[in-house]
Amino acid sequence: MAEFTGKSVCKGVAIGRIKFYSQQENTVVREKVDDASAEQTRYEQARDKAIEELNALYEKAVTTVGEDNAEIFNVHAMMLEDEDYNDSVSSIIAGQQVNAEYAVATTGDNFAEMFASMEDEYFKARSADVKDISERVIRILTGKENSNDIGEEPVIIIAEDLAPSETVQMDKSKLLAFVTRLGSSNSHTAILARTMNIPAMVGTPIDKAFDGKMGIVDGYEGKLIVDPSADVLEIYFAKKKADDEKKALLQELKGQENVTKSGKKINLYANIGNPGDLGAVLANDAGGIGLFRSEFLYLGSEDFPTEEAQFQAYKKVLETMGSKKVIIRTLDIGADKQVDYFGLEKEENPALGYRAIRICLTRPEIFRTQLRALYRASAYGNLAIMYPMIISVSEVLQIKEISKSVREELISEGIKVGEVEEGIMIETPAAAVMSDELAKHVDFFSIGTNDLTQYTLAIDRQNEKLDVFYNAHHPALLRLIKMVADNGHKEGIWTGICGELGADTTLTEEFIKMGIDELSVSPGAVLSVRKAIRECE
């Protein structure tokens, strides 16, 4: 028996045979060609077929992991249409009179190396994406089959790494768990594993010799056990049975109130990335939507989304949720969410730079378009608008002046608008410290603990080297959260949490004691948080 540790990215227990998954390796040989034009045509045909495959993958992924997570395949398709990438391939074919396979492999290596050398974590992640799309085109050029068959028996997949396309194409009914040597907790594959609710680990020692052996993945403790003894197997069969029973019991909480033993009621909402996540919200019995990230409209578009396109998206969500509250956050572009057509300049420290409300207030034409769409949609449901990255009262007053102007403009045009709550995200220490003054001007606070934690601790949450220093339970952070709740209540407004800490059930009772009125979590975490609330005194 051998035991290995790694970083858990999705909790759960899996027991079964291990299958070592080898990525398809495309060996490319540089060959001189007589007809560069014919090679260019071969490349273009292979590229177009690759884009067709990616579009089909997107459609499949939407049904299994939702639109937000499927978006990576649209990104890959767009990368294959990138002018710089295609110019590089064409230039190598024509300039060196070589085969298309070599030109694609060289371009892929060059671009991947370029991205990997960048300091920005978002662009570093694009290195793996370039490799993935290049391998796809080379496979098509060489005529290899696209096989992700993992056999008939459900297995634990171990691999050096897994590309998103490989993950999605695998038969979910045959997957017990993922374990990879490379990858991070923020990788696309890790996100897909969480969405598919499959136990998963990254940063784990693996070996081809594990193939075919019995294995155990403990996603709670981040352990991979190879060739477990009979005693250990017995322990883990019992642990898995208890885990399965716990998940079944959670289903019985559907329709139950989010109320403590002493009778205190907590609003329990869901965070979503786009309208495609609505099914999960309803299936998990969330009381509303506490954070709708509107930037998906911008990230998935080649130009600024029109007022009408935004209106239709917001209207769909509000109509589907009926009388339940829907809190839509205005665009949070910038930092790790870059969009070419915004024309944002490269920044040394983008997390502290030109992003979110700072873009809205300095480019009011973008802001007003979104606000018009939001207010138009407000007639179709229970809408609240939330503004991110606030640091001062003056910003809030400027926002309210613009929103009032937009509302009056729509009414003067004869367009019906509903009653709309306006709140702000508390995700900067400045906003937390000034929350007593900010509370006088808004209808609610929603604490974004992801950014508030990194700004309070001065730790980049996407930097793996700093994981050892990252403490989401830091006393300074908890003090700020309580301060915000207290200051909100003094002015008669409610306070919620929409960051990842909202789903941390070890803090649920403490949040309730602090006076937190609402928790907004991923749809899949709603029932476990409801259970924690109902067990609180």
Catalytic residues: 188, 498
Pair type for strands 421-426 and 382-387: parallel
- Contact (Cβ atoms closer than 8 angstroms) between residue 23 and residue 213: no
Residue 35: alpha-carbon gap to chain centroid: 45
> Residue 44 and residue 86: Cα distance in Å, rounded?
9
Q: How far apart are CA 349 and CA 47, in angstroms?
A: 35
Q: Using only C-alpha atoms, what is the Rg of the chain?
A: 25
- CA torsion angle for 178, 184, 187, 192 (degrees, to 10)? 30
Report how far apart, in Å, the C-alpha atoms of 347 and of each of 116, 280, 336, 460 are.
17, 36, 11, 15
Tokens of 516: 């937190």
Give the bridge partners for 268, in sequence order: 519
Residue 181 per-residue DSSP state: S
CB of 406 closer than 8 Å to CB of 311: no
Question: Cβ distance 233 to 218 under 8 Å?
Answer: no
- CA 338 distance to own-chain centroid: 14
Bridge partners of residue 382, in order along the sequence: 325
Structure tokens, 184:
């991070």
CA 476 vs. chain centroid, Å, equals 26
Q: Are 323 and 381 in contact (CB under 8 A)?
A: yes
CB 425 within 8 A of CB 447: yes
- Classify burial at 453, counting beta carbons within 10 Å of its beta carbon; exposed 0-12, middle 13-18, buried 19 or more: buried
Count the neighbouring beta carbons within 10 Å of the beta carbon of residue 212. Answer: 11
Strand partners, 326: 289, 383
Tokens of 332: 């949070």
- Residue 216: enclosing H or E segment and its boundaries? strand 214-218
* CB within 8 Å of 304: residues ≥ 6 apart: 298, 341, 366, 369
Give phi and psi for 99, each to the nearest 5. -70, 155
